[in-house]
Amino acid sequence: MDGTIPRRELPGVLQAIAALSAEYDLRVANVFHAGDGNMHPLILFDANQPGELDRAEALGGKILELCVKVGGSITGEHG
């Protein structure tokens, strides 16, 4: 998953991702290029556990919505 955000929004976006992570009961490893606002959040889930894939996909969608909400884009450096 790729998204870009304005650099000034990084602290708030990371806090929001942490809250979404707790809400969806899934861990997120935040990998990003802080200098240019490219984000690559890695949602950790076990596909063998019922419902986790669906929650991971929903969480990914919420993270991308968040990127757009703060003035970013869902097409980061990898398109």
For residue range 26-56, what is the model confidence (pLDDT) as tens digits?
Answer: 999 999 887 888 999 999 999 999 999 999 9
Number of domains in the chain: 1
Determine, yes or no, domain membership for 77.
no
d(CA 30, CA 11): 12
DSSP E strand boundaries for 6-52: 27-33, 38-44
Q: Is residue 26 part of a domain?
A: yes
Q: Is residue 19 part of a domain?
A: yes
Query: Does residue 23 lie in a domain region?
Result: yes
Total-model pTM: 0.90
Which two structure tokens, joined as six digits, stand for 67? 């990127």
Query: Does the pLDDT of residue 79 top 70, yes or no?
Result: no
Structural domain including 26 reads: 3-69
Span of 8-17, 27-36, 42-51, 60-69 with lowest mean pLDDT: 27-36
- At residue 24, the pLDDT reads 98
| 61 assigned to some structural domain | yes
